[in-house]
A = this chain, B = another copy of it.
Amino acid sequence: MSLPADSALLTDLYQLTMLQGYFAQGMNETAVFELFVRKLPGEPEPKRNFLIVAGLEQALDFLEGLQFQPDEIEWLRSTGRFAAEFLDALAGLRFAGDVDAMPEGTVFFPGEPILRVTASLPEAQLVETRLINLLHFQSLIASKAARMVLAAPGKPLVDFGLRRAHGAEAGLFSARAAYLAGFSGSSNVLAGQRWNLPLYGTLAHSFIQAHDDEFTAFEHFACAHPGELVLLIDTYDTEAAAEKLIPLAARLAAKGIGIQGVRIDSGNLADHARKVRNILDRGGLGQVSIFASGSIDEHLLAQHTAEAAPIDGYGIGTRMDTSSDAPYLDCAYKLQEYAGIPRRKCSEGKATWPGRKQVYRHYDSEGKMQWDVLTLASDEQAGDPLLCPVMRRGRRLGPNQSLETIRARVLDQLGCLPWRLRALSPCAAYPVEVAVSLKRLIQTMESGRMPK
């Protein structure tokens, strides 16, 4: 199945019904929507201390390419839900608005807009569903993967999660987001092709099982992959397999093949790694590294780091690709201004800050992030503004940032995090202050001098 992920029909029905309503009323004035996360995920205590923006490149691709194809318009017509004149207008709709956003790789916090769309109301409305879908998922994964990177300093981590990611796109975007967050690469070949990510892979148990004995399987695999040889040693008995590597290494050396590493995928990984390390070292294979996989999350990584388990790298799948302990962010895309007038939703527990906004970040003398200020875009402040212009009149302002640039930004940002935020356990929230100008706007609106 080829997936029309760029189809304009990849949206909620209500976007189209609302557009028909706007069309009927001629409501085409400029709207400002902002995308933000309401709170850190996890109940009762947050399971994240910070979040990382990712997915902007795909969001801009989507906006630049947005249009309904003739057969899609015909299909919409066939549903009988829409007026002919509206569908004619819809066929001509393109996104010609402006976008300001935090660059990918930026650390952000609840309440802070990470993307602001300024466009005619129908355009800005229509893009809601897919914009959230794109920015939510990669930000979710980058935020999860960054915790793993922090928990295993200096250890290469590789994305192994495609099989249990939620579909094809999730597998691809997980590979990208994890790489941005500091992973070394992925097993996902298509992601490797698309973004030139470093690809990693060893072999599966089935390769061993398909042979009548393990030693022969190792030898066959080695001869087929003399270049970067990592052998999976837990199919039957991990330590027994490690012992077999000593005679194997000698045989392979005669052919000019070296064993680079082993992978352990079951049992107590740290215990097995210690035993295997001993066996290998005693056998003169001190240069063979140990790679571990299987149900790994940041807590296990931190435990291995604390006990100095002799594991040199990790393959990480499901718990990263699904962000399994917090598989969604409470994010929203809300109208903040229409026709020059600030707007505010007041629903219980979901009230929003009105107006078009900016976030300023302050650092201490050691370069650590100290606090952010949320304010109106018109209220220029000290500190570093986080939202930057990225699209004007429907066109990007420059080429995409390279993955390496974004990856370096994440590394830099993680270095600027206050120590308590780098820990895996929940901590005192990072301060995001609301500026006086924004509070005054709310007061003005509540006093009834503005529509609600």
Contacts and interface: CB of A to CB of B under 8 A. Distances in A.
A239 to B, nearest CB: 11
B235 A347 contact: yes
B322 A328 contact: yes
Given A187-B12, A202-B14, A209 B335 contact: yes
Given A16-B189, A21-B221, A338 B209 contact: yes
Given A169-B167, A220-B21, A162 B324 contact: no
A165 B163 contact: no
A345 interface: yes
A451 interface: yes
Interface in A6-32: 6-7, 9-18, 20-25, 27, 31
B9 A189 contact: yes
- Chain A interface size, as a band, is 35 or more
A164 B322 contact: no
5 contacts: A1-B62, A3-B169, A10-B171, A209-B343, A266-B350
Interface string A166-192: 111111110000000000000111101
Interface stretch (A126-134, A245-253, A371-379, A425-433): A126-134
Interface stretch (A44-52, A102-110, A193-201, A305-313): A193-201
Contacts of A413: none
A304 B22 CA distance: 35
A6 B2 contact: yes
A132 B65 CA distance: 31
A163 B12 contact: yes
Contacts of A451: 211-213
Interface string A72-109: 10010001010000000000000000000000000000
A331 interface: yes
Contacts of A340: none
A187 B4 contact: no
Interface in A296-351: 318, 322-324, 327-329, 331, 334-335, 338-339, 341, 343-350
B170 A17 contact: no
Nearest to A213: B451
A102 to B, nearest CB: 19
Interface string A208-234: 011111000000110111010000001
Contacts of A344: 209
A5 interface: yes
Nearest to A209: B343
A358 interface: no
